[in-house]
Each structure stands twice: as C-alpha cells, then as structure tokens.
C-alpha cells in the first residue's frame, strides 16, 4: 500500500499503524501540485510494480464565509478537493489500462447533494467529484477500469464539516446530529472503510459510475 499526505508527521504515523497489516510506503505529497502527484505515482510503481486501486480521499473544508474568503483560499479548496483527484486519476489511469484494469474510489460527501451553506467551495468541489466519477467511468469502462464515488455523511469521532481539523464532536453537537439521523447515530469510520473495500473488491464488479450515500439516512432529516 502506498499512502500519500502533505502532513508528514500524521502520514508517517498512519503508515506505521497500517504496517501491521502489510507493507506500507508513505510519501509526502500535496495532491494539488501536479509534479508532486506524478512523483508519488512513479514512486508507488517503483515500489509495487502496479497500482490496482486508487482512493482519492484528500480534502480541505476551506473558508466558512464566501464573501470574506480570499481568492487564494477558495482556489486551494478546489485544487485539493477536485483538481487533486483529477490529477491523480490522470497519472494513474494509463498504468491501470496498460495492466488490464483497476479501480478508483472517489470520496465525496453528502454536501454535494444537500449543499453546505457555510462552505460553498467544499460543496462545489464534491459535486464536481461526482461529475468526474461519471465522466471517467464512461470513458474507461471498456478498459476494465471501474470508478465509483462514496458520499459519507457525519462520521463518528470526526466532524466532516471541519474535517481538516478532525475536531471531536461536543456532546451537544453529537446529540443534535443524532436527533436528525433516522438510524439514531452517526456513521462509524470502519463502515466507511468497509464500503471502500467493497467498491474496490470483485463483489462490486458490476458497479461503475455509481454514487453511494453512506449517511444513516442523515439527508432525510435535512
């Protein structure tokens, strides 16, 4: 497994934790920078010889007030949340098609459906990620490359609307969320991981261009 992150300390710690389950390589990479992405893909190929699965999970929440946001702040959100997956896909797809197939899983958010009043750049980029998923799925299906999109709602232990800081929910925030989620709870992190695993597995061999919502029914309460 190759893991890339622009936070070297947290990325290395995550790689060490995952190493209990198999070989893991960590590479510092800002996915908004094409040259860094190209280098990370090349390093992954040098280490493992092929890339079977790409999970585009990097994201920034960004500024909370559009009118008070600088152009640079808004551009950074779009660069990480939308250009990043686009760029990674651009550099990975040639290898997947050459090797006879592969899987891409894009991680979006229910914000792409319901919007995010306080974080419009984030919501816009996630909606764009759904469009990217569908476009690439149509283009590469006959090359045996499947591309799907997962849209989580609120995940227990982290607030996806402040995901860049990974802030813990307060008790009041947790109760407010539970009150509008039909299942009466937020999503567990391992449930997100298991859905990614499913989409990458042969069990999902007939799925491409799909957008999967994993939110415990949260959108129904909005």
**How confident is the model over 153-190, as pLDDT tens digits?**
988 764 434 343 334 557 777 777 788 899 988 899 99
Among 122, 140, 169, 188, the one annotated catalytic = 122
- The mean of the pLDDT values for the chain is 91
All structural domains of the chain, each given as residue ranges with its CATH number in brackets, are 55-221 (3.40.50.720)
Residue 21 half-sphere exposure toward CB, CA atoms < 13 A: 6
For 180-215, give one letter per residue: b (16+ CB within 10 A) or e. Answer: ebeeeebbeeeebeebbebbbeeebeeebbbbbbbb
pTM (2 d.p.): 0.90
Share of the chain above pLDDT 70, in %: 94
Q: Can 122 be counted among the known catalytic residues? A: yes
According to the model, what pLDDT value does residue 169 have?
A: 59
Confidence of residue 129 (pLDDT cuts 50, 70, 90): very high
209 vs 163, more confident:
209
Residue among 59, 182, 203, 176 at smallest CA distance from 121: 59
């Amino acid at each position: 497994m190759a893991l890339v992150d622009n936070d070297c300390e947290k990325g290395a710690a995550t790689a060490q934790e995952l190493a209990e389950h198999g070989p893991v390589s960590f590479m510092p990479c800002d996915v908004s920078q094409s040259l860094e992405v190209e280098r990370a893909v090349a390093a992954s190929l040098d280490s493992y010889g092929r890339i079977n699965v790409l999970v585009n999970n990097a994201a920034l929440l960004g500024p909370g007030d559009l009118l008070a946001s600088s152009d640079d702040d808004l551009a950074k959100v779009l660069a990480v949340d939308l250009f990043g997956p686009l760029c990674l896909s651009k550099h990975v797809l040639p290898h997947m098609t050459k090797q006879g197939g592969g899987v891409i899983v894009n991680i979006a958010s229910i914000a792409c459906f319901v919007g995010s009043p306080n974080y419009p750049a984030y919501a816009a980029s996630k909606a764009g990620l759904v469009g990217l998923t569908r476009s690439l799925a149509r283009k590469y299906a006959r090359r045996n490359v499947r591309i799907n999109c997962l849209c989580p709602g609120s995940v227990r232990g982290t607030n996806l609307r402040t995901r860049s800081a990974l802030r813990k929910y307060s008790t009041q925030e947790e109760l407010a969320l539970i009150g509008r989620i039909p299942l009466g709870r937020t999503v567990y992190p391992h449930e997100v991981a298991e859905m990614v695993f499913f989409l990458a597995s042969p069990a999902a061999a007939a799925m491409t261009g799909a957008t999967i919502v994993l939110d415990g029914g949260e959108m129904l309460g909005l």
